[in-house]
Amino acid sequence: MGFDLVNSKALTKIQSIILIAIIVVAALGTTAAYFFLGGQNQSSETIKIGILTDIDGASGRHIWQGAVLAAEHLNAEGGILGRQVEVIGEDTDFESGVDLTIINSALIRLLTFHDVDIVIGLATGEMGPMIQDVIAEHKKIYMGVGGIPIELTQRVIDDYDEYKYFFSEFNSTVLTKERIDMLLHAREITGFNNVGYLVDDHPYFTDVREAYDNTLPELGFNLVYKGVFPPFNTIDFSSYFAAAEEAGVEILMPQSIFDSGIPLVKEYYDRQAPMVIYGGFISKAGYLESWEKTGGKCAYSTLIIQGSTIGYPVTSKTKPFHDSYVERWGMAPFFLGASSYSKIRFILFDALERARTTETEDLIKALEEIEVETTSAGNFAFDSSHSTLVTEYPADNPDGEIIINLLLQWKEDGSLVPIYPKWLMEEAEATLTYPPWAGPWD
């Protein structure tokens, strides 16, 4: 049984309130469907945006919440092309383990049963090629959030007519170039050359690990430790740090997208590990509230953080988004929430307003010509592979560039200071602070 949100007479009596629709267990398939439509002056024709993610998961929740917030903001301003924006989510249960059958079913339901105009969601690991093939068959646009394997963008280049429907945030090549440039910066300011990584065993980091293995030795680094841990619910990192210490690691690069980030940085602090935590993407230790959650034990860790996560004003859109997200949801936004928000609020809004239609071919052309400010880019654009256009690293000039990630260090007083990009560190007159315990900095 459903509820007609568009034609309900009850809605006409509630003028300035944004409504979250009831959660409906769909009549077909095994996934749960989540509907949202908010705003005033609603018509029977909406612009439907599908969200493909683990809506109840730690990161998927932010993708959904970012999309809902973007729809709220747009609908409060009259929608797009005079039509309200409706977001419809299909739950993939992704964070419990990748099940391509569930993901495929959820995507097809969005495209057929819900008849969405555009789909937004993850496309990491083995799900990426399947997603590309399905949307090519249905000739609907898919916009990926977060990093994706380079193979997906290469397919767009190699067979444009088949895969032109796929647009991504940034591919693994961009991510690895960024992380390696961060490490070169670390060597410049510390003089340390013995490096290691501690990465959760998730497809999201496969390409990053391979790049570390292949590229760091070529750049003269001593890659002395390669640590990999289970991606879900790892809470004891003592053996990993012991192994890194024995290997002589001076700079440790941790990577974790799930809840393991908090115990990881606490173990570093409690054992007074004689190394620098630097260049790590640890999602759960990169929020402003992480200071309280760790009891201040994230101090001295230098972590990859997006400006939108902490409200750092990378662009004029960053802090307003952050503040409205915190007010709306009572939590800081994970970077994927900023991504889904920007794709709807700025990128799709601009492209649809210029295309004047939701017809796929016209919208593809409009997206290929996009130049718009987002929460992370002064001038966002797509390259020929439909991935985010990023200048070559190092990024010495901030004007108009996209800043995918910042590198900030937690200080002992709970403040965060920028360490990367280099120009931002110099602009802030910041310095890297070593822990007060013994280490190679002595």
pLDDT by residue (tens digit) across 15-58? 333 333 333 333 334 446 666 665 444 445 899 999 999 888 87
The β-bridge partners of 377 are 402
309 against 207, higher pLDDT: 309
Name the one residue in this structure whose structure tokens are 């190092």: 394
Cα–Cα nearest to 92, from 50, 129, 133: 50
Considering the chain, what percentage of its residues have pLDDT values greater than 70? 84
In this prediction the pTM is 0.79
Q: Give the chain's domains with CATH numbers.
A: 9-171+314-368 (3.40.50.2300), 173-309+401-427 (3.40.50.2300)
What pLDDT sits at residue 3?
A: 24
Query: What span, in angstroms and rounded, lies between the C-alpha atoms of 103 and 90?
Result: 9
What pLDDT sits at residue 103?
A: 92
In this prediction, residue 284 has a pLDDT band, given cuts at 50, 70 and 90, of low
The β-bridge partners of 121 are 52, 144
What mean pLDDT comes out for the span 93-121?
89
Q: What interhelical angle do 318-329 and 60-76 show, nearest 10?
A: 110
105, 29 contact by CB (below 8 A): yes
pLDDT tens-digit readout, 113-133: 999 999 999 888 788 999 999
Largest Cα–Cα distance in the chain?
72
CA 359 to chain centre: 27
- The long-range contacts involving 204-210, CB below 8 angstroms and separated by at least 24 positions, are 204/124, 204/125, 204/146, 204/147, 204/257, 205/255, 206/125, 206/149, 207/147, 207/149, 207/150, 207/172, 207/173, 207/175, 207/176, 208/172, 208/175, 208/176, 208/179, 208/255
Query: What span, in angstroms and rounded, lies between the C-alpha atoms of 278 and 409?
Result: 8
What pLDDT sits at residue 75?
A: 97
What pLDDT sits at residue 409?
A: 94
What pLDDT sits at residue 401?
A: 54
CA torsion 218-220-225-230 (nearest 10°) is: -50
What pLDDT sits at residue 148?
A: 81
pLDDT tens-digit readout, 134-147: 999 999 999 999 87
Query: What span, in angstroms and rounded, lies between the C-alpha atoms of 255 and 64?
Result: 23
First to last CA, the chain: 68
In this prediction, residue 220 has a pLDDT band, given cuts at 50, 70 and 90, of very high
In this prediction, residue 96 has a pLDDT band, given cuts at 50, 70 and 90, of low
308 against 317, higher pLDDT: 317
Least confident of 3-12, 242-251, 383-392, 419-428: 3-12
Decide if pLDDT at 9 tops 50: no
Q: Please report which residue ranges of 330-378 form alpha helices under DSSP H.
A: 335-342, 349-355, 360-368
Percentages helix, strand, coil for the chain (3-state, rounded to 5) are: 40, 20, 40
Output DSSP code: residue 87: E
What distances in angstroms separate CA 85 from CA 33, 41, 150, 152, 297, one per listed residue? Answer: 17, 12, 31, 28, 42
What mean pLDDT comes out for the span 78-92?
95
pLDDT tens-digit readout, 333-385: 888 899 999 999 999 999 999 999 999 999 999 999 999 999 988 888 898 99
